[in-house]
């Protein structure tokens, strides 16, 4: 009797967890990215915002002229570099004017694919790894960045590999994708 009760409770728990994953309170959808504005919003701020739009567009143009090192409004900027150990470092920088929160439905934060010259995937990280099914989030303040080190698995045959594509895996799908050559 106790075993049946325990099995029934586990079944209810699993159903409720499955039903709640990926659901959003707002609009019944979940994009996986939430922009958080910590300032109070009122009509006065809106009018100030309108007058600042012209200044922002000028600053954006100036930023592009000086090498693009400034903040580009509305973009999450991915980059990928190779370090001296042969590992790749995937970095995502918040180039928006607001704090950005990425919501995750598992312990996985990023995924990557090794592709051949035809663009076919020859290795997908998530297909060879296991992740805990736990909710989590990563919040980036304006100008802040997250970095993940990627070491291609030893023993895998990457002959013919041409590129590495990396992306974040929040709820709602692929975000901040970037690709680099392996040749």
pLDDT in tens, the chain (183 residues): 777 766 766 666 666 555 544 443 333 344 455 544 444 344 444 444 444 444 444 444 444 444 445 555 678 999 999 999 889 999 999 999 999 999 999 999 999 999 999 999 999 999 999 999 999 999 999 999 999 999 988 877 778 888 999 999 999 888 999 999 987
Total structural domains within the chain = 1
Residue 96 lies in a domain: yes
Residue 14 lies in a domain: no
pTM of the complete model: 0.61
pLDDT of residue 14: 64
Contact 139, 36 (CB under 8 A): yes
DSSP secondary structure of 119-168: S-EEEEHHHH-------EEEEE-TT-EEEEEE-PPTT---TTEEEEEEEE
| CATH code (residue 144) | 2.60.40.10
Residue 27 lies in a domain: no
Residue 119 lies in a domain: yes
How many CB atoms neighbour CB 124 within 10 A?
Answer: 14
Structure letter (DSSP) for residue 67: T
Q: Which domain holds residue 46?
A: 32-181
Residue 8 lies in a domain: no
Residue 164 lies in a domain: yes
């Amino acid at each position: 009797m106790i075993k049946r009760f325990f099995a029934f409770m586990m079944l209810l728990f699993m159903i409720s967890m499955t039903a709640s994953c990926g659901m959003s309170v707002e609009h019944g959808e979940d994009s996986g990215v939430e922009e958080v504005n910590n300032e109070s919003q009122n009509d006065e701020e809106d009018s100030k915002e309108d007058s600042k739009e012209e200044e922002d567009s000028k600053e954006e143009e100036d930023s592009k002229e000086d090498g693009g090192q400034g903040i580009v409004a509305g973009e999450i900027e991915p980059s990928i570099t190779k370090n001296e150990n042969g590992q790749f470092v995937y970095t995502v920088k918040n180039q928006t004017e607001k704090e950005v929160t990425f919501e995750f439905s598992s312990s996985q934060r990023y995924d990557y694919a090794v592709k051949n010259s035809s663009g076919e995937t020859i290795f997908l990280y998530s297909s060879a790894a296991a992740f805990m099914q736990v909710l989590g989030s990563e919040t980036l303040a304006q100008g802040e960045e997250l970095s993940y080190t990627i070491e291609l698995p030893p023993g895998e045959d990457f002959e013919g590999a041409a590129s590495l594509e990396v992306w974040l895996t929040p709820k709602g799908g692929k975000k901040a994708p970037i690709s680099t050559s392996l040749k």
